[in-house]
Copies of this chain bind each other. A is one copy, B any other.
Amino acid sequence: MKSAQTRELIRGIALRSFREQGFEATTMRTIATQAGVSLGNAYYYFPTKNHLVQELYLEVQQAHRAAAAPLLATSDDLATRLGIVFRAGLEQLAPFRDYASGFLTAMVDPNSPLNPTSPESEPARSITVGLFRDALTGARQTLPKDLGARMPHALWLAYLLLCLYWSYDRSPEQRNTTRLLEQGLRLFTAALPLLRVPGVRAPVRKLLDLVAEVGA
């Protein structure tokens, strides 16, 4: 078997295992066994399990983009466009619901390469930040320039917080998360004109700068 094929085989098995068995039960050993390769061979392609989690992040965010992009073409309303990106992101998480706590525990450490704000997570993060940028730039409503430049990163963080809420959400089919998103978007829309008021715009800009320190 060719090198690229072996890599893809290991990757595919690992990603399916993360979905079906969760973070903790998926180990380099179980992956190697299922792929029919030696443990050393698996480590040759992916030096740590974390490298495979980064492949998972990438796959999930590519699916997020693929789900959101065609819907974004259907509306130029800002709240609608943001809702599309948030909802498409939440939909990608559904298969991981049963294993949310295991992933969450592995992700939350600020020093972990699995943290969504880590340098290692930059490729996946840039897809999501880019989606929020697309949602903003394609809308007929515009933000003040200084805020607009800072907003995609802040929206990505808001999306992480929504995912955090989702992992705590015990309502049927996590409907409370969808409701929280809807009310949040309603308030965002109501607050939009205020962002041009100097007494609001300045503290919002400072807030966005401070928020951007996370994962910048």
Q: Which residues of A contact B (CB under 8 A)?
A: 100-101, 104-105, 108-111, 117, 161, 165, 167-171, 176, 179-180, 183-184, 186-187, 190, 199-200, 203-204, 206-207, 210-211, 213-214
Contacts and interface: CB of A to CB of B under 8 A. Distances in A.
Contacts of A180: 207, 210-211
A138 to B, nearest CB: 25
5 contacts: A101-B110, A105-B105, A170-B213, A176-B213, A180-B211
Contacts of A206: 179, 183
A100 B108 contact: no
Contacts of A101: 109-111
B100 A104 contact: no
Interface of A is mostly: helix
How many chain copies? 2
Contacts of A169: 213
Q: Which 6 A-B pairs have the closest CB atoms?
A: A186-B203, A180-B210, A183-B207, A108-B108, A101-B109, A183-B203
Given A104-B109, A117-B168, A187-B207, 18 more contacts: A100-B110, A104-B108, A105-B105, A105-B108, A108-B108, A110-B167, A161-B161, A170-B213, A176-B210, A179-B206, A180-B207, A180-B211, A183-B206, A183-B207, A183-B210, A186-B203, A187-B204, A190-B203
